[in-house]
Amino acid sequence: MEPVTFLVVGLSVGAASALTWNLYHARNALQNVSDRTIVLSESQGAHAKQTTDALVLLQKKIDHYDDLLGALRATHPTVDFGMRAHQAIASLESGIVSASMVQNAIDAVYSSIPLQRVDIDLSPMQAQMTSRLLSVLDQNGLTMATLGLDGRQALQVGLCSLYLQNLNWAESAFGVAHQALPGNEVVLQGLEKVALLKADDVLRLHWLEAQLRIDPDNPDLLRTHAHILVQQGDENAEKDVRRLEALGLDTPADRSLLAGLRHRAGSSNEAIDAIEQALAEDNKKPDYWLQYAQLLHEAEESERALEAVDSCLNLDRQIGEAWALRAILLSVKQGREKEALKAATHAVALDCGGAQLIVLKADLLAESGDVMAAETSLEKAIEKHPMDAELRSTVASRRLAEGRIEVAQALLDGTPPNIDHPELHIVEGRLHLARADRRRDGTGETDQLLLGSAIQSFEAALQLNRELGVAWLGLARTQRLMKRLDEASESLTRAKRLLGDTDSSCSIEGALLAIDLDDIHAATRYIDAAEIQGSGPTIAYVRGNIAIKSGNAERAIAMYTETLNERPKHIRARLNRISCYLGLDQAVEAKDDANILLSLAPELAVAVFAKADAQSRLGEWEEAKEGFLAVLEQAPHHHMALTKLGACFLALDRPERAEGPINEALRLAPDHGDAWHQRGMLYLSWGKYEAALSDFEAAIRADGNNLDARVQAAAIHHASKNIEQASAAWRGVLALEPDHPLARQRLQDCEQHLATL
């Protein structure tokens, strides 16, 4: 073999051997790696299982703790509140602030705050969370104006801020709440307390008055309000104490405060001494003389007051108040009416004295005989001073007293829309009462509707001024007319406290209320007191009512006549006199009075009824029928008019027309004895004696004093030969009228018949 070939073969064998060797070692190495991988994989699998088992166990523990925490939050609201609030505030403190995050924080912190009272108690945790939240809001430049909270949330923020005495946040929050919840008592109390803590008496007075508008009789508010006014030197503090006095809630401390107010104003004697010293030093100042005259007038030293006011006018004749005082002083002096008129004219020309002098001037003109000038002066004054509510109400009251209802109404209707004065509401209430007097139908039901408007007017006056005694008096009268006697008694007590014991109108109303309460002795005491306190036609009217209640119709007529002589347009006096005339069967007098009454009040249905009743007693059946029909057009439920209409049809020989009205009357008033009597007469006209007897007996059960029903029942028994029943029935007639001739004769016949048996 050639050396070259040998060399090539040797190299090939060597290379193959080396490759085989390397492959062998590589396979072994790979096998070792594979074995180690298998071992490592088995080891990792075992470790992973241990880890998984540990994680499962840990999750179970976490779930258990979550359950415990959930139970703790559910059973301990403070814990839940703390966690929610902390999480919400922490999210804001992280530096990222959004509207939703702020709203979430506010809900978390304030949602559990109660809204029932201003003095809340926060737990330490609530106080801490509130403080943290307010700090975060301040740091981010957020205010109540930018938060956009509703009224409830704003109130909660205000209450918590007030608790922390963070007055800026509290005032701002309560302000937002006040806009959203106007009239909320807690909000107003919060605003008042903020003003108190800020020592701002003016602002506190404002919020106190806002609370008093909602709760005007709250004694604590009234006392606080009075003390602030005293500190400010405001004389209106007496008004609050007077209200407490009217409520019957004044204490010794309140009365002491009232005494201090009057002492601060100075007694009249001390004031007079002081002005006299001033005049001794300088008697050339008209203001001193005017003040001196006013003090003397208050002290009821009219002659000296007149001398002082003349001294004032000698120095300056353009002082309107001096002319006004001179007019007042001279108006009560006999023979000096012309001087008084001249002074009043000067005062009015200088726009002094107000409504009092305008009315005084008109009265003096009327006394001088120039009634047209008096009317014209009042009309011009109202045109010149359209905003003067006192003048308008005074003139309207006078027109109403004169019976000029439409004129008074026109004055009220002409009131500018931006005027709201308690006196105007009082006149409006009196107008409603006057209209109720002129539109009554006698049933009482319509009266309730008419009087309801008067109640609203008097209550409107009291909303503006709860110290108006005349408003309480008007309310008491209206409540009495509506038969709300307990309420009337309370209102009258309030009026007496405000008007004083010397006011005759309160005594008169007390007498009328006592009559309605069937207390004649109390009514007599009240009217006796009223006569001592003053005089007037109303006193005689009330005495007439007392006489009616006592069963003395003749005295009642005399009293009503005295009233009508002084006040011919007194509606109720004339109406009551008609009732007395009818009770005494004086139909002619009743008819005459009814005609006069209808000339004053054409819509007064009760007067139409009274006239028709009188006409039926005079045998004027056709006219009476028309009257009852007119009443029923206005008041279809008037059972007495229905009954008497049936009686008219019977008298006109039209019994078929009588049955309907009488049956309707019995449906409306099953206890109305006269309706049973009239239906008995109807059945009697038809020859249905048993039905007639049954109705007559029903009439007697409803009204034992129904003499006609007793006579008819007795006559039916007598005609039916029921001697024993007839005898008893005739005795019943004689029990009511011992001299009844027919009953005596029939009873004698019955006794003779029984004697022969």
Least confident of 187-191, 266-270, 530-534: 266-270
| Residues 287 and 349 reside in one and the same domain | yes
* Residue where a domain terminates, one of 22, 56, 71: 71
- Which band of pLDDT confidence, cut at 50, 70 and 90, is reported for residue 80? low
Q: Residue 21 pLDDT more than 70?
A: no
Residues in the chain: 757
Give the pLDDT score at 714.
92
Residue 541 burial class via C-beta count within 10 angstroms: exposed 0-12, middle 13-18, buried 19 and up: buried
Please state the rounded mean pLDDT for residues 336-357: 91
Instruction: Compute the mean pLDDT over every residue in the chain, rounded to the nearest whole number.
Output: 84
| Residues 158 and 95 reside in one and the same domain | yes
What are 710-728's pLDDT values in tens digits?
Answer: 999 999 999 988 888 989 9
Q: Residue 218 pLDDT more than 60?
A: yes
Query: Between residues 542 and 133, which one has the greater pLDDT?
Result: 542
Tokens encoding 710: 């007793």
Give the pLDDT score at 158.
87
Give the contacts of 287 (CB within 8 A, at least 6 positions apart). Answer: 312
CA 716 distance to own-chain centroid: 58
Whether residue 25 lies inside any domain: the answer is yes
Q: Residue 630 pLDDT more than 90?
A: yes
What are 24-43's pLDDT values in tens digits?
Answer: 555 565 566 555 655 555 55
What are 298-338's pLDDT values in tens digits?
Answer: 888 889 999 999 999 999 999 999 999 999 999 988 888 89
| Residues 200 and 111 reside in one and the same domain | yes
Give the pLDDT score at 4.
43
Give the pLDDT score at 81.
54
Query: Between residues 234 and 490, which one has the greater pLDDT?
Result: 490
Least confident of 103-112, 195-204, 356-365, 632-641: 103-112
Cα distances from 86 to residues 170, 177, 233, 490, 689, in angstroms, run 22, 26, 51, 57, 96
Whether residue 393 lies inside any domain: the answer is no
Give the pLDDT score at 43.
54
* Residue where a domain terminates, one of 193, 215, 237: 215
Query: Between residues 130 and 693, which one has the greater pLDDT?
Result: 693
What are 526-556's pLDDT values in tens digits?
Answer: 999 998 887 788 999 999 999 999 999 999 9
| Residues 91 and 209 reside in one and the same domain | yes
Whether residue 541 lies inside any domain: the answer is no
- Which band of pLDDT confidence, cut at 50, 70 and 90, is reported for residue 75? very low
Please state the rounded mean pLDDT for residues 370-376: 88
How many other β-carbons are positioned within 10 Å of the β-carbon of residue 103? 15
| Residues 104 and 85 reside in one and the same domain | yes
- Which band of pLDDT confidence, cut at 50, 70 and 90, is reported for residue 652? very high
Please state the rounded mean pLDDT for residues 397-408: 87
| Residues 95 and 203 reside in one and the same domain | yes
Give the pLDDT score at 265.
55
Query: Between residues 235 and 639, which one has the greater pLDDT?
Result: 639
CATH of the domain at 83: 1.25.40.10
Give the pLDDT score at 468.
92
Whether residue 12 lies inside any domain: the answer is yes
Please state the rounded mean pLDDT for residues 452-457: 94
Least confident of 2-6, 92-96, 414-418, 572-576: 2-6
Q: Residue 57 pLDDT more than 80?
A: no
Q: Which amino acid is at 424?
A: L
User: What b/e readout covers 66-91, taking b as 16+ CB neighbours within 10 angstroms?
Assistant: eeeeeeebeeeeeebbbebbbebbeb
Is the four-CA dihedral 332, 333, 335, 337 of positive or negative sign? negative
Whether residue 353 lies inside any domain: the answer is yes
Give the pLDDT score at 7.
46
Q: Residue 45 pLDDT more than 70?
A: no
Tokens encoding 173: 């929050």
Give the pLDDT score at 76.
44
* Residue where a domain terminates, one of 148, 181, 215: 215
- Which band of pLDDT confidence, cut at 50, 70 and 90, is reported for residue 670? very high
Give the pLDDT score at 27.
59
| Residues 311 and 188 reside in one and the same domain | no
Helix H or strand E encompassing 637: none
Give the pLDDT score at 619.
94
Give the pLDDT score at 298.
84
Whether residue 409 lies inside any domain: the answer is no
Q: Residue 49 pLDDT more than 70?
A: no
Give the pLDDT score at 638.
93
Query: Between residues 116 and 676, which one has the greater pLDDT?
Result: 676
Tokens encoding 705: 């004093």
Cα distances from 334 to residues 85, 338, 346, 367, in angstroms, run 86, 10, 20, 12
Please state the rounded mean pLDDT for residues 680-706: 93
The residue range of the domain holding 134 is 78-215
| Residues 63 and 153 reside in one and the same domain | no
| Residues 64 and 82 reside in one and the same domain | no
Q: How many structural domains is the chain composed of?
A: 4
d(Cα 207, Cα 397) in Å, to the nearest integer? 36
- Angle among Cα 665, 669, 672 to the nearest 5 degrees reads 90
Query: Between residues 537 and 10, which one has the greater pLDDT?
Result: 537
Backbone angles phi, psi at 468, to 5 degrees: -85, 100
| Residues 141 and 207 reside in one and the same domain | yes
Q: Residue 17 pLDDT more than 60?
A: no
Whether residue 201 lies inside any domain: the answer is yes
Whether residue 453 lies inside any domain: the answer is no
Least confident of 108-112, 122-126, 287-291, 489-493: 108-112
DSSP 619: T
| Residues 17 and 133 reside in one and the same domain | no
Give the pLDDT score at 145.
83
| Residues 111 and 158 reside in one and the same domain | yes
Q: Residue 443 pLDDT more than 60?
A: yes
Q: Residue 18 pLDDT more than 60?
A: no
Most confident residue range from 245-249, 295-299, 580-584: 580-584
